[in-house]
Amino acid sequence: MIDHIGINCGDWPAAQVFYDRVLGVLGYTRQLDHGIAVGYGRDGHPSFWIADMSAGDASGPNREVHLAFQAADTTAVDAFYAAAIELGATSLHAPRRWPEYHPGYYGAFVRDLDGNNVEAVFHGAGA
C-alpha cells in the first residue's frame, strides 16, 4: 500500500547526520541524494525521504507530509488523480512518467484537503 513517505526537516545538516546514523544501524542506507532531499532504503528503493524544510515553498511553520501509494498500473494512477481532483484536491503534477526518478516511474501528485502532498505511483511503466 505505502510506497514511500517524506518528512521535512528544519535543521538540514543535523537531520542528515541523525538519519544516516539511526537508519544505518537498522541496515538502511542512502539510495538517492538530490541535495535538498535524501531517500533511504534498501536495494535501490528509497522508501523514506527527508527534505530540507527551507528549500521550496514553505507554507507555515511546517511543510506538508509527502505520502505515496502504490498503484497497480498507469490506469490506476490516472484514476487516482481524476478522483482526487473531483473531490477537491489541488493538482500538483498531472499523471506522467518521471524518468528523473527512474525508468518506468509513472506518478501523479495532488495536494489533499489538508494540504499534504499525496501521490500515486506505478514503477513498471514502459517506455
One-letter amino acid at 108 equals A
User: In this predicted structure, what is the pLDDT of residue 61?
Assistant: 55
**The domain that contains 24 carries what CATH number?**
3.10.180.10
What is the rounded distance in angstroms from the CA atom of residue 95 to the CA atom of residue 98? 9
Q: How many domains does the chain have?
A: 2
One-letter amino acid at 46 equals P
User: In this predicted structure, what is the pLDDT of residue 84?
Assistant: 94
User: Which residues, given as ranges, of the chain have pLDDT below 50?
Assistant: none
Same-domain status, 79 and 35: no
Same-domain status, 70 and 119: yes
Read off the pTM.
0.80
Residue 71, domain member (yes or no): yes
Return the bridge partners of 15, or none. Answer: none
Residue 22, domain member (yes or no): yes
Same-domain status, 3 and 48: yes
What is the rounded distance in angstroms from the CA atom of residue 68 to the CA atom of residue 48? 10
Q: Are 97 and 113 within 8 A, CB to CB?
A: no
User: In this predicted structure, what is the pLDDT of residue 62?
Assistant: 58
Same-domain status, 7 and 48: yes
Which one of 31, 53, 75 terminates a domain?
A: 53
- Quote the domain boundaries for residue 49: 1-53
Dihedrals phi, psi of 16, to nearest 5 degrees? -65, -45
Residue 125, domain member (yes or no): yes
